[in-house]
């Protein structure tokens, strides 16, 4: 995957949501390990959304935990970076959450 990023000269990568979850998927742990290699070998900005953020958290040594019950709703944030700029409104629905994020430049969480 790293070679693919450099080969295609991508400006950015977005790791989006998934029906997988970190607390029940053995393949998620393997994905996080592969992602750690990617994150440390490229200067391409990477945005993790929902499951993508959870993968990034685990890849950097953070922690993801199962919540007692699912959370859903919308949130707004103002972005000013290489991946997005301006006001963003997003929907979320998850039962796993990042409880410790290490190595992140910025983390946006709904309250």
- Interacting residues of 90 by C-beta distance below 8 A, sequence separation 6+: 49, 74, 75, 76, 77
Contact 50, 67 (CB under 8 A): no
Could you report the per-residue pLDDT of 73-82, keeping only the tens digit for each? 888 878 777 7
- Tally Cβ neighbours within 10 Å of residue 70: 9
Q: Exposed, middle or buried: residue 51 (CB in 10 Å: 0-12, 13-18, 19+)? A: buried
In this prediction the pTM is: 0.68
Report which of 58, 10, 16 is spatially closest to residue 2, judged by C-alpha positions: 10
Of the pLDDT bands very low, low, confident and very high (cuts 50, 70, 90), residue 100 is confident
Helix/strand/coil for 100: strand
Distance CA 32, CA 98 (A): 13
Return the pLDDT at 107: 58
């Amino acid at each position: 995957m790293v070679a693919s990023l450099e080969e295609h000269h991508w400006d950015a990568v977005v790791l989006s949501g998934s029906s997988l979850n970190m607390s029940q998927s053995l393949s998620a742990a393997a994905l996080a390990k592969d992602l750690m290699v990617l994150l440390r070998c490229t200067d391409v900005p990477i945005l993790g959304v929902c499951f993508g953020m959870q993968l990034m958290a685990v890849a950097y040594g953070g922690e993801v935990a199962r919540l007692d019950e699912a959370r859903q709703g919308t949130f707004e944030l103002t972005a000013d970076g290489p991946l997005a700029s301006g006001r963003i409104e997003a929907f979320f629905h998850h039962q796993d959450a990042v409880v410790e994020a290490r190595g992140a430049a910025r983390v946006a969480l709904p309250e």
